[in-house]
Amino acid sequence: MKRTYLAFQRNGHLSTLQVVVTAVRTVASLEESNRSLFKGARDDDHVVVTDSTIFHPQGGGQPSDVGAMTAEGEGEGGARFDVHMVRMSAVAQGEVLHCGRFANPSAGLFRPGDRVTQRIDVEKRLLYSRYHTAGHVLGAAVRHLLEKEVEGFDETKASHFPDSAACEFQGLIEARWKDAIQSKVDEYIDKDMAVEIEWWDEDDFRANGMGRQIPDRAAMGLADDEKFRVVRIVGAETYPCGGTHVQSTKLCGRTMVKKISRSKGTSRVGYTLP
């Protein structure tokens, strides 16, 4: 199966996209590993696969986009598919699965080869993008402050979900650092730093002193001549990242540092946005 082209990674401003349907299946017919990706879905819900997608699938700490697909040239009674969840396939590498429900099954379902228009929920995309960029801002602030202050320090992972947003770090960060972290985050937000998307190969990572962050090409299913997507917060940090972002740090809005929790040699710094 050919990988789904991730249009949102090349143009984050798109809110609609015309695509071609390549497969339509019921949730009940999915392989167990894929069916388990869609907790709460009904057996008679459907999964639609398209050649390209504007929908960001859940991953990298970011929630999936939601929205709809509509058949081209159809009127009000035409086929419409409401997208509730989007995931990367656990079976076919690089294939994006859009899970949801046909709004009017009597109007017919999509068929392979159909041209449809994808539309994302723009407000949710913006919210998730703000949270994702703010998470990188927080990570950069903590690194710049504490990399040489905390034994064994390293950034590990993050959640950019609005109800559980936090960055995790190797090493124990004491609560006394909370105000300093907040001040550094405020500084980065107020500077209105540009957020730029770049495409690097392994040599680019090494040239920028980020050799240890080179992603696993084989695990991602990338060919030898394909490049990795990175997000640069100009003046702060650069991260390998496939998610969506706002164009500058100021667009994140006021980013509030919450509780710092510690457990088993790691620290978790929570954050929230207005």
* In the predicted structure, residue 90 carries a pLDDT above the cut 70: yes
* Overall average pLDDT of the 189-211 stretch: 96
Tell me, yes or no, whether 114 and 234 share the same domain.
Answer: no
Lowest mean pLDDT among 67-81, 127-141, 246-260: 67-81
Tell me, yes or no, whether 65 and 160 share the same domain.
Answer: no
Q: How confident is the model at residue 2 (pLDDT cuts 50, 70, 90)?
A: confident
Residue 25 to residue 216: CA distance in whole angstroms: 31
Tell me, yes or no, whether 20 and 106 share the same domain.
Answer: yes
Tell me, yes or no, whether 77 and 193 share the same domain.
Answer: no
List pLDDT tens digits, range 170-189.
999 999 999 999 999 999 99
Residue 266 to residue 169: CA distance in whole angstroms: 6
Backbone φ, ψ for residue 193 (5° rounding): -65, 135
* Geometric angle at alpha carbon 87, from 85 and 88, rounded to 5°: 165
- Residue 80 Ramachandran class (φ > 0 left, ψ -120 to 50 alpha, else beta): beta
CA proximity to 242, closest of 5, 56, 4, 2: 56
Tell me, yes or no, whether 53 and 89 share the same domain.
Answer: yes
Q: How confident is the model at residue 67 (pLDDT cuts 50, 70, 90)?
A: very high
* Domain end call among 94, 120, 146: 120
pTM as predicted: 0.95
The strand ranges marked E within 90-215 are: 96-102, 115-120, 154-159, 166-170, 195-200
* In the predicted structure, residue 95 carries a pLDDT above the cut 90: yes
Which residues does 1 contact at the CB level (< 8 Å), separation at least 6? 92, 95
* Domain end call among 75, 90, 120: 120
CATH number, domain with residue 209:
3.30.980.10
Domain that holds residue 76: 5-120
* Domain end call among 99, 120, 141: 120
Tell me, yes or no, whether 111 and 137 share the same domain.
Answer: no
Tell me, yes or no, whether 133 and 240 share the same domain.
Answer: yes
* In the predicted structure, residue 84 carries a pLDDT above the cut 80: yes
* In the predicted structure, residue 256 carries a pLDDT above the cut 70: yes
* In the predicted structure, residue 74 carries a pLDDT above the cut 80: no
Tell me, yes or no, whether 106 and 178 share the same domain.
Answer: no
Residue with tokens 């997208």: 83
Tell me, yes or no, whether 92 and 150 share the same domain.
Answer: no
Domain count for the chain, please give it.
Answer: 2
Q: How confident is the model at residue 72 (pLDDT cuts 50, 70, 90)?
A: confident
For residue 133, the surrounding DSSP H or E stretch is helix 122-146
Tell me, yes or no, whether 218 and 129 share the same domain.
Answer: yes
β-pair type (46-50, 96-102): antiparallel
Token couple for 92: 């076919």
